Amino acid sequence: MSQSATRAARLVYIRDLLHEQPHSVEDLARLCEVSIDTIYRDLIDIQLEPLSVPLIVEDGRWRVIDWDELSNPD
Handedness of CA 25, 27, 29, 35 (dihedral sign): positive
Residue 15 clears pLDDT 70, i.e. is over it: yes
What CATH number should be reported for the domain holding residue 57? 1.10.10.10
pLDDT in tens, 31-64: 999 999 999 999 999 999 999 999 999 999 999 9
Domain presence at residue 16: yes
Domain presence at residue 17: yes
Domain boundaries, position 59: 3-68
Q: What is the pTM of this model?
A: 0.88
- Please tell me the total number of residues recorded for the chain in this structure: 74
Share of the chain above pLDDT 70, in %: 93
Domain presence at residue 73: no
Domain presence at residue 74: no
N- to C-terminal Cα distance for the chain?
44
> What is the count of structural domains for the chain?
1
- For residue 58, which of 28, 30, 22, 29 has the smallest C-alpha distance? 22
pLDDT in tens, 40-49: 999 999 999 9
